Chain A
Amino acid sequence: MSAPHIPILRQGRVYKSLDVQTVPKLGTDEPAAEISFACADMIKYDLYKMGSARAALKKFSCQELVDITKRAGEIFLNDDLPVGTEGALQSPEDYVLSLASTSGLPHALIRMNMKRLGGIFADIDVIFRGLTRGLDWAVLDKGYGEQGGAPVSFSATTSELAVILPSNSPAVNALWIPSIAMKVPVLLKPGREEPWTPWRIIQAFIKAGCPPEAFSLYPTQHDGSGAIIRRAGRVMLFGDDSTVKQYENDERIEVHGTGYSKFLIGEDEIENWEKYIDTIVESVSANSGRSCICTSTIVVPKYGDEIARAVAQRLAEIKPLAQDDPNAKLSGFANPMFAEWINEAVEKGLKAGGATDVTAEFREGERFHQRDGMNYLQPTLIRVESFDQELAIREFLFPFASVVECQQAEMLGKIGFSLVVTAVTRDIDWINQLFDCPHIDRLNIGNVPTNRIKWDQPHEGNLFEFLYTRRSFQIAEIA
């Protein structure tokens, strides 16, 4: 298939820009896609008109949109869908190849993410109910009704959900998919190397019967992203701690930042630590360690050295393989410089003392590895002496974790913000303390990998509460 032209979508209307950039296949000069870029002012203009996009969605009932979403999931996974502006079709396999060619993700990982996205579509009714705490969808159709015997009314906080998408993780599209069933149009800014997934999801929705007006797609530069962030009614974006800090007081903006997710073993279960190695390895390495829900710190009361060696040995088995190798679990870096920067940061932490790269003993070659024209970082497990070591609580875009020993009674005071915590324990008192801990966002009790999450519960915020606000209302008889 020749390189398709990914246009701008302005409420579903195809717009070919004169500002076109070519995205090459990684490690080559061969074009993978031509992308139309939108100027910031065009986006500002279009934002004024998003009310009509919402009006198009409001013509459907929530039930109809839930049904459309379910159909769209099947279509996303199985159908040939339009790609670009010249009438070409993209099969699911073409999608895998296209995304692999620009993102560096192994095919197996892309297929896993496809399946995960498929699950979001398929479970939309469960997710909708979960996020609305069992709300009868008719309340959103009618504007008011009852929930649990109490009168409720909800109004949308925005005419659009804008999402600034990253280039490195197709699964994050899961976050906006439910917005359609909630009757809120989406305005997406794709990552430069990853227009493929949002485009395919949009096409699947349209084929399933969703009004095209519900979808706006704006590949754009920094100024365009800035315009979206400053002007859109609700914005989701992804960034580091400084980005989170920048927008912490802006209710319009939900930043998905670093997760600092952790795996804790209680004193009552530590003698059984060998039973939990599989779960820890999955938690660290799933999705090539790129998710905020991947474990980056393992906290244990004792046996830190033994656990570090056991996990390191298993992680070292995950090697850079050919992208089409069905066993490939490690992703290359689309931006080759990232691998170098991250590697330098790890080395700097090791030089600071109090930290040992336990994986060095088991892996083949250096952490930084080049293969097939791409840069890789091999999985790394660091044994640190204490939480004070700079690598103890760090998160990187590859399978990376530290192991730190800490008495159970001190753990909750030391772990800091944690998007996901898995705590392996049966100690009721400690479990109660874990539930009370304010800086844990998602909590798993028992042998649950941190990366396995249920979407019917809030993830870094509740999408429904982000898009809707409850209003008081009274309706009286008119005499």
Chain B
Amino acid sequence: MTADEAKAQLDERVREMMAWHFSDETGCPFWLDWKKSVGWDPREEVKTYDDIVKFPHFQDEWLRDEKNERFVPNAYKGRPFNVFETGGTTGLPKQRVGWEDYKHDYEQFSHQLSDEFFPKGGNWIMVGPTGPRRLRLAVEHLANFRGGSCYHVDLDPRWVKKLILRKEMDQVERYQAHVMEQSVEIIKHRDISCIFTTPKLLASIGERISISGHGIKGCFCGGTSMTPEYVRFLQEEVLEGKAQFVPTYGNTLMGLAVSIPEELKDNNYSVTYYAPQPRAVLRIVDPEKTEITKEYGEYGRVELTTLSHEFFMPRFLERDEAIRRKPHAKYAWDGVGDVRPFGALTGKVIEGVY
């Protein structure tokens, strides 16, 4: 696919989604009411992705303050939905409803994985936040989709964040050790080929056992930003250069942006992520004037637009910043590189807790 073809595909997707989400037959009450309140019809005015700036930034508070039923498209009315949560260290968490999106996203992701390092039929272990998160079902679906089963070890990031806020670092380490003990037992005593976990938990498992020495060939990682040095450490020392490290960037609201693991070393471990376009689009924007896209090579705030039949979310400003990177032969659209917490150089951010 060329960059022009990718753009045409995205524009077509935008028109399709405007028609879907702003038609009375298929759209959800939230967006239909919104259309009435603003007095213009996105079906008429948003014809390409460039027109998406006509929408205001999606506020994730809406996912907490509005009832979930208001986000159910009329086309799905009457079908019970999954509720997936994000955030929620204190108070009511933000919730997103869904049906099949996570399956689509992770099946699409599965096609990007190497069969050598993520063997078909191999079992998986997921060590990380399960509970009400989309990830828990998604990783299990990924394992099943590739012909394997999935073991789980839970970690509650909300509790960890509270401990960090209280500066109870000893408790953080104890809790981490508790999670590790469970993980190591499973890895030691079950046949496991692939792992999903967060960078810090991966390092923590590697402190206790040789991950590749216990048969794990591939590690799909996500959850927090990673510096190039940290990626190098995980690949070369934690995975001992034997298992493949596949960093991803994503959340409950997007799906998975993927990297190109085989090129990590050549790029000095600077990771570039490509959104699952056209289902979701990442744009690097000027934080002061968000309608402006930053130039290639420049840092800016990450803006996410999700364009699925189940969920429409225009121009959500992530709490991250990244470098705008050029399209790649494998992914013919912009990438986002060296993701880090927004304002990382100016303010204190609790990030990377698990």
How far is it, in angstroms, between the C-alpha of A230 and the C-alpha of B177 when the chains are bound? 14
Query: 1/0 per position for A24-60, CB-CB distance to B under 8 A?
Result: 0000000000000101011011001000000000000
CB distance from B116 to the nearest CB of A (A): 26
Q: How many residues of A contact B (CB 8 A)?
A: 12
Chain B residues contacting A42 (CB-CB under 8 Å) are 233, 237
Known: A18-B269, A41-B233. 6 other contacts (CB 8 A): A18-B229, A19-B227, A39-B229, A39-B233, A41-B230, A45-B238
Chain B residues contacting A78 (CB-CB under 8 Å) are none
How far is it, in angstroms, between the C-alpha of A37 and the C-alpha of B232 when the chains are bound? 13
Q: Knowing A48-B207, A230-B170, say if A19 contacts B237 (CB, 8 Å).
A: no
CB distance from B270 to the nearest CB of A (A): 8
Asked whether B43 is an interface residue with its Cβ less than 8 Å from the other chain, the reply is no
CB distance from B33 to the nearest CB of A (A): 46
- CB-based contact B207/A44 at 8 Å: yes
- CB-based contact A39/B237 at 8 Å: no
How far is it, in angstroms, between the C-alpha of A42 and the C-alpha of B268 when the chains are bound? 17
How far is it, in angstroms, between the C-alpha of A19 and the C-alpha of B228 when the chains are bound? 7
Instruction: Provide 13 A-B residue pairs closer than 8 Å at the C-beta atoms, listed in order of the A residue.
Output: A17-B229, A18-B229, A18-B232, A18-B268, A39-B227, A39-B233, A41-B204, A41-B230, A41-B233, A41-B238, A42-B233, A45-B237, A45-B238
Nearest B residue (CB) for A39: B230
Asked whether B173 is an interface residue with its Cβ less than 8 Å from the other chain, the reply is yes
Asked whether B169 is an interface residue with its Cβ less than 8 Å from the other chain, the reply is yes
Query: 1/0 per position for A227-240, CB-CB distance to B under 8 A?
Result: 00010000000000
Chain A residues contacting B15 (CB-CB under 8 Å) are none
Q: Is the interface of B mostly helix, strand, loop or mixed?
A: helix
Nearest A residue (CB) for B208: A48
Asked whether B133 is an interface residue with its Cβ less than 8 Å from the other chain, the reply is no
Asked whether B294 is an interface residue with its Cβ less than 8 Å from the other chain, the reply is no
How far is it, in angstroms, between the C-alpha of A230 and the C-alpha of B171 when the chains are bound? 12
Asked whether B200 is an interface residue with its Cβ less than 8 Å from the other chain, the reply is yes
How far is it, in angstroms, between the C-alpha of A39 and the C-alpha of B204 when the chains are bound? 13
Chain B residues contacting A438 (CB-CB under 8 Å) are none
CB distance from A216 to the nearest CB of B (A): 15
Asked whether B138 is an interface residue with its Cβ less than 8 Å from the other chain, the reply is no
- CB-based contact B228/A41 at 8 Å: no
Asked whether A226 is an interface residue with its Cβ less than 8 Å from the other chain, the reply is yes
- CB-based contact B169/A230 at 8 Å: yes
How far is it, in angstroms, between the C-alpha of A39 and the C-alpha of B203 when the chains are bound? 11
Query: 1/0 per position for B176-202, CB-CB distance to A under 8 A?
Result: 000000000000000000000000100
Chain B residues contacting A37 (CB-CB under 8 Å) are 229
- The 4 residue pairs across chains A and B that have the minimum distance between CB atoms: A19-B229, A18-B229, A41-B203, A18-B228
Q: Which of B169, B200, B206, B229 has the most CB of A within 10 A?
A: B229
Chain A residues contacting B206 (CB-CB under 8 Å) are 45
How far is it, in angstroms, between the C-alpha of A415 and the C-alpha of B276 when the chains are bound? 68
- A residues at B contact (CB < 8 Å): 17-19, 37, 39, 41-42, 44-45, 48, 226, 230
Chain A residues contacting B207 (CB-CB under 8 Å) are 44-45, 48
Chain B residues contacting A48 (CB-CB under 8 Å) are 207
How far is it, in angstroms, between the C-alpha of A37 and the C-alpha of B229 when the chains are bound? 9
How far is it, in angstroms, between the C-alpha of A41 and the C-alpha of B203 when the chains are bound? 7
Nearest A residue (CB) for B199: A41
Q: Which of A17, A39, A48, A230 has the most CB of B within 10 A?
A: A39
Chain B residues numbered 211-237 whose CB sits less than 8 Å from any CB in chain A:
227-230, 232-233, 237
Chain B residues contacting A19 (CB-CB under 8 Å) are 227-229
CB distance from A285 to the nearest CB of B (A): 37
How far is it, in angstroms, between the C-alpha of A19 and the C-alpha of B170 when the chains are bound? 27
Chain A residues contacting B169 (CB-CB under 8 Å) are 226, 230
Chain A residues contacting B203 (CB-CB under 8 Å) are 41, 44-45
Nearest A residue (CB) for B203: A41
Chain B residues contacting A45 (CB-CB under 8 Å) are 203, 206-207, 237-238
Chain A residues contacting B170 (CB-CB under 8 Å) are 230
Chain B residues contacting A41 (CB-CB under 8 Å) are 200, 203-204, 230, 233, 238
How far is it, in angstroms, between the C-alpha of A19 and the C-alpha of B169 when the chains are bound? 24
How far is it, in angstroms, between the C-alpha of A230 and the C-alpha of B173 when the chains are bound? 9
CB distance from A337 to the nearest CB of B (A): 16
Chain A residues contacting B228 (CB-CB under 8 Å) are 18-19
Nearest B residue (CB) for A229: B169
CB distance from B109 to the nearest CB of A (A): 26
Q: Which of A17, A37, A41, A44 has the most CB of B within 10 A?
A: A41
How far is it, in angstroms, between the C-alpha of A48 and the C-alpha of B203 when the chains are bound? 13
How far is it, in angstroms, between the C-alpha of A42 and the C-alpha of B200 when the chains are bound? 11
CB distance from B287 to the nearest CB of A (A): 24
Nearest B residue (CB) for A19: B229
Chain B residues contacting A226 (CB-CB under 8 Å) are 169
CB distance from A280 to the nearest CB of B (A): 41
How far is it, in angstroms, between the C-alpha of A462 and the C-alpha of B341 when the chains are bound? 44
Chain B residues contacting A230 (CB-CB under 8 Å) are 169-170, 173
How far is it, in angstroms, between the C-alpha of A18 and the C-alpha of B226 when the chains are bound? 12
Chain A residues contacting B232 (CB-CB under 8 Å) are 18
CB distance from A380 to the nearest CB of B (A): 33
How far is it, in angstroms, between the C-alpha of A412 and the C-alpha of B317 when the chains are bound? 62
CB distance from A7 to the nearest CB of B (A): 13
Chain B residues contacting A44 (CB-CB under 8 Å) are 203, 207
Nearest A residue (CB) for B230: A39
CB distance from A110 to the nearest CB of B (A): 32
How far is it, in angstroms, between the C-alpha of A353 and the C-alpha of B229 when the chains are bound? 53
How far is it, in angstroms, between the C-alpha of A226 and the C-alpha of B228 when the chains are bound? 21
CB distance from A17 to the nearest CB of B (A): 5
Chain A residues contacting B204 (CB-CB under 8 Å) are 41
How far is it, in angstroms, between the C-alpha of A433 and the C-alpha of B220 when the chains are bound? 68
How far is it, in angstroms, between the C-alpha of A45 and the C-alpha of B230 when the chains are bound? 13
Nearest B residue (CB) for A20: B229
Query: 1/0 per position for B18-43, CB-CB distance to A under 8 A?
Result: 00000000000000000000000000
How far is it, in angstroms, between the C-alpha of A202 and the C-alpha of B200 when the chains are bound? 31
- CB-based contact A18/B200 at 8 Å: no
Chain A residues contacting B237 (CB-CB under 8 Å) are 42, 45
